[in-house]
Amino acid sequence: MCRGIGHNQWIGAVGNGEPRTYWWAVCFNIKDYFSMSTLIDFTSFLSGALLTFIVGMFIYYFRKKEQEYFFYVVVRSQEAMVIERFGKFHRVIGEGLHIIFPLIDRPRVTSWRFAYDPRTGQKGPVTIAYHRIDLRQTLYDFPEQTVITKDHAQIKIDGFLLAKIENPRRIVYSVTNFPSTIENLIEANLRNLIGNMTLVRVLNSREEINKQLQESLLGIAFDWGVKIISVEITNIIPDEIVFKALVNQTVEESHKIAASFKAEAESYTLEQIAKVIGNKNDVSKFLATLKYIEAFKELISKKDGKVVFMPYDSSSLMSSLGMIKELFNDQGTKEP
């Protein structure tokens, strides 16, 4: 062995109670002698340390590979996780520390497709895998879509949905992709609602559309374990050609309303003048004189330092003014 030490010399006697001398102790000039119990304890310590190291590396590897749910899982507040055992639903765990059996229990991973990235806000379709379900109120912004009204007007509608997951088990097993499915459902309901309404009604009935859209989603969302809090239409944008036609129509209607008011005002003025003058034949002369005075006043105000020539029949203006004065004087003498 080492320096000619014999086999019996380092093995020692067995069962005679004498201390045992080991060859490695002699080779390395170790003078101490160890009993059998001390050697067993030392060997057990090394075996335990090696086993602990192997188990630790095993856990580290699988936790990194299996996305941190090996042996235990920590669920944050307002979150939930669906645990499956051998591929079958086992339980729903809430916030806190939970022990799960490796290779037997696994969290159910759900992939959701969004019209935009909810983590960064960047537009564009993105698919995100979740094994934790957010129980807070969540805003789902569905993209702008084009719909056609009852009177064949093309408009663009944009809006959002505010919802809250109340049953994690239903949302996982009842629908494959909640954001994408609810988006398609909203689009179908909007086409149905807007298709039965005219453009003018759509523009003036936004709250009615929101209410009907929310009522149409409540039943099916409940079956999915989701509570619909509100549905809001944010923008209703008509097509450019339709928008111009709508503006022209609005202007024409406003002109018609203004002309109607003006006619009513003139009619009322004639009635009041007739009451004051008493002679209906002089009413037209009175109004013509007032129009003449207003036109002449406007002409003088815009002369810009130029010479203004009186019309040839200006004497009729003077006579008309005198007539107005006489009419009011006569009216004043009639009063007691």
Q: Tell me, what CATH number does 158's domain have?
A: 3.30.479.30
What proportions of the chain, in percent to the nearest 5, are helix, strand and coil?
Answer: 50, 25, 25
Separation between Cα atoms, residue 15 and residue 163, nearest integer Å: 79
**137, 207: one domain:** yes
**232, 130: one domain:** yes
- Bridge partner list, 127: 113
Count of domains forming the chain: 4
How much is the pTM? 0.55
**132, 201: one domain:** yes
Instruction: Give the domain extent around 166.
Output: 125-238
> What's the pLDDT tens digit per position in 16-70?
444 444 444 545 444 444 455 555 566 776 777 888 888 777 666 665 554 555 6
Task: Among 7-11, 64-68, 207-211, 237-241, name the one with the lowest average pLDDT.
Answer: 7-11
Q: Does residue 322 lie in a domain region?
A: yes
Task: Among 23-32, 70-79, 141-150, 175-184, name the one with the lowest average pLDDT.
Answer: 23-32
153 band by pLDDT with thresholds 50, 70 and 90:
confident
Q: Does residue 294 lie in a domain region?
A: yes
- HEC letters along 192-233: HHHCCCCHHHHHHCHHHHHHHHHHHHHHHHHHCCEEEEEEEE
What's the distance, Cα to Cα, between the start and end of the chain in Å? 155
Q: Does residue 98 lie in a domain region?
A: yes
Q: Which two tokens stand for residue 81?
A: 């996780």
